[in-house]
Amino acid sequence: MPELNLNDIAARLESLEETIIHRLIDRAQWRLNDNAYLQGASGFPGAEQRSLFELRLHSQEEMDAKFGRFCVPEERPFNRDLPKPLRAVSLPDTGVNLKDYDTVNLTEPLLNSYMLILPKICLAGDDGQYGSSVEHDVYAIQAIARRVHYGAIYVAESKFRQDPEGYKKLVETRNRDGLMERLTRKDVEKKIIERVKTKVKNLQAKVNKSIRNTVRYEPIIVYYRDLLIPLTKHGEIVYLFNRVENDSVQN
């Protein structure tokens, strides 16, 4: 079983954070384009129940499923009716203790919260570029989901290993508040928020504003503070409950 060093995990989370910011900036190059999110407005025959965004996300995940993306513990699809991989994906032992990855699934709140941040990063209005808008939505939301599920699973597993008995007891007594307290590191959260702010500014510092829309850092740090970080911790608790139950079944 691989060693899961909390510093390595934090470094990977920081790299994913960079990707998320790149992709939100890319999405913001188009207008909000409400029509792309309206059910029945996609123009796809026979797809009256879905928006263009939903259709794009589904198509992307169909393709990704065939290529084996969802064999990776931190990749969680937003859709359920997906094909099996067409290739064998062999991963090294990840160290993750989860029989069914889908037990840690935060896609629904992630989707809802993405829709809330969109009007805060995109200019209002309609530029007709619905295809490009939803293409970049999908890239952004995949990066966000990867970050939150990666954090939930790997941070929880790594912390559990530091004190298995302590975490077992908290789970067995169903002490969610106690778990939340142990999983919360205010200083780390504060550092993440500061870093996100700096990254959003740095990545756009030298940009030519007459040709690129820029994104303010405020909505992105609120998104991190009020949604992504709490959702990650919620996922950590779900992971720990499942991990301890797996262990009891095995023993």
Between CA 115 and CA 121, with CA 117 as vertex, the angle to 5 degrees is 125
CB of 204 vs its own copies, minimal distance in Å: 10
How many C-beta atoms lie closer than 10 Å to residue 182's C-beta? Answer: 17
Which structure tokens are listed for 246?
A: 């797996």
Of 64-72, 113-121, 147-155, 165-173, the segment contacting its own copies by CB under 8 A is 64-72
Count of chain residues binding its own copies (CB under 8 A)? 48
Which residues, numbered 33-62, are part of the site for its own copies (CB under 8 A)?
42-45, 47, 52, 55-56, 59-60
For residue 212, the minimal CB distance to its own copies (Å) is 6
Please list every residue from 121 through 150 that binds its own copies, using CB under 8 A. Answer: 128, 131, 134-135, 139
CA of residue 178 relative to chain centroid, distance: 25
Instruction: Kindly tell me which residue out of 6, 26, 109, 219 binds its own copies, with binding defined by CB under 8 A.
Output: 26
CB of 147 to its own copies, least distance (A): 13
CB of 129 to its own copies, least distance (A): 9
Residue 168 near its own copies by CB under 8 A: no
CB of 108 to its own copies, least distance (A): 24
Segment 188-227, which members bind its own copies (CB under 8 A)? Answer: 198-199, 202-203, 205-208, 210-212
Question: What does the DSSP assignment read for the chain?
Answer: -----HHHHHHHHHHHHHHHHHHHHHHTTS---GGGGSTT-S--TT-TTS-HHHHHHHHHHHHHHHTTGGGSTT---S-S--PPPSS---PPP-----S-GGGS--HHHHHHHHHHHHHHHSPSS--S-HHHHHHHHHHHHHHHHHHHHHIIIIIHHHHHHH-HHHHHHHHHTT-HHHHHHHH--HHHHHHHHHHHHHHHHHHHTT--TTTS----HHHHHHHIIIIIHHHHHHHHHHHHHHHHHHHHHH-
Q: How far is the CB of 230 from its own copies (least distance, A)?
A: 24
Return the residue of 15, 162, 175, 248 that touches its own copies, per CB under 8 A.
Answer: 15
- Residues lying near its own copies in the complex (CB under 8 A): 11-12, 14-15, 18-19, 22, 26, 29, 42-45, 47, 52, 55-56, 59-60, 63-64, 66-69, 86-92, 128, 131, 134-135, 139, 198-199, 202-203, 205-208, 210-212
